[in-house]
Amino acid sequence: MKKREIKESVKERYSKIAVGKESGCSCCAGTAPDIIEQAKTAGYSLDEIKSIPEEAIFGLGCGNPTALAEINEGETVLDLGSGGGIDVFLAANKVGEQGKVIGVDMTEEMVQTAAQNAEKGNYTNVEFKLGEIENLPIKDNSIDVIISNCVINLTPDKLIAYTEAFRVLKPGGRILVSDLVTLGDIPEEIRKSFEAWSACIAGAMEKEEYLDIIKKAGFSDVEIVEAHYYTEPEMDVRLEGKILSIQVKANK
């Protein structure tokens, strides 16, 4: 499988989700049939869900990075793979009028949807940019906090993505990333499945290798702060007990 083919397949899937042509639950953290329940299962409180535009919730995440990132008022936050904007809006509520939150997504339809959600919610401290996490449209040393929710596993170039994250962070900046990793071998036919890539499974990296990638990008104090086994209704039985949803923090 070529990297560009994988990226285009993932992009096509999320474009359809953005315009409502496919179900949003591709990387969701639980088995709940309802999007709001999926969000709660992933770690979002009902108060958080009610505080943002409902249209921003697609049920795509495997955690709630804004809950653990310790985002402060006045900071500049970057969300990698911002989707409909759920984490951008939650972060925007925390940084206040003096802060700013930028969402980057490679899918044009998602960026358009998120921008519409921002307008509906009257958010003046957010911005959505079209771009790839391996080539961020962001200046060097300009971001205080980076968050990401079940997105980095979608790229075949995880080291490049984390190197880019390191580049745009200010010295002393930090990341809090929710993602999926593996414990043990994954069947080769799943690794080669475009559908499994867009479902966040095929691209998931072995846990220790994933943490090493973050360190190689230059980050220090790399730590898993939360973890639980990942399940979904139609998951291949060969994957049971082999997919872990983690929340990782690290510093520049």
**Mean pLDDT along residues 139-146:** 98
Please check the confidence at residue 16 and state whether its pLDDT lies above 90.
no
**With the C-alpha atoms ordered 85, 88, 93, 97, is the resulting torsion angle positive or negative?**
negative
pLDDT digits over 201-246, tens only?
Answer: 889 999 999 999 999 999 999 999 999 998 776 778 889 899 999 9
Which of the following CATH numbers is that of domain 3-251: 3.40.50.150, 3.30.2290.10, 2.40.110.10, 3.30.70.270? 3.40.50.150
Output the pTM of the full model: 0.91
Nearest to 145 by CA among 242, 252, 233: 252
In Å, what is the CA distance from 98 to each residue of 74, 79, 155? 5, 18, 33
| Domain spans in the chain, listed from the N-terminal domain onward | 3-251
> 147-179 burial, b for 16+ CB within 10 Å, e for fewer?
bbbbbbbbbbbbebbbbbbbbbbeeebbbbbbb
How far is Cα 60 from Cα 92, in angstroms, rounded to an integer?
19
Query: Chain-wide mean pLDDT for the chain?
Result: 89
On whether the CB atoms of residues 79 and 103 are closer than 8 A, the answer is: yes
Tokens found for residue 62: 């495997």
Residues 6+ apart with CB under 8 A from 219: 162, 166, 175, 250, 251, 252
pLDDT digits over 32-76, tens only?
Answer: 446 667 777 777 888 888 888 888 877 667 889 999 999 999 999
| Predicted local confidence at residue 22, as pLDDT | 58
Q: Quick one: pLDDT band at residue 155, thresholds 50, 70, 90?
A: very high
* Main-chain dihedrals φ then ψ at residue 229, nearest 5 degrees: -70, 140
Q: Quick one: pLDDT band at residue 23, thresholds 50, 70, 90?
A: low
Helix, strand, coil content of the chain in percent (nearest 5)? 40, 25, 40
The amino acid present at 193, given as its one-letter code, is S
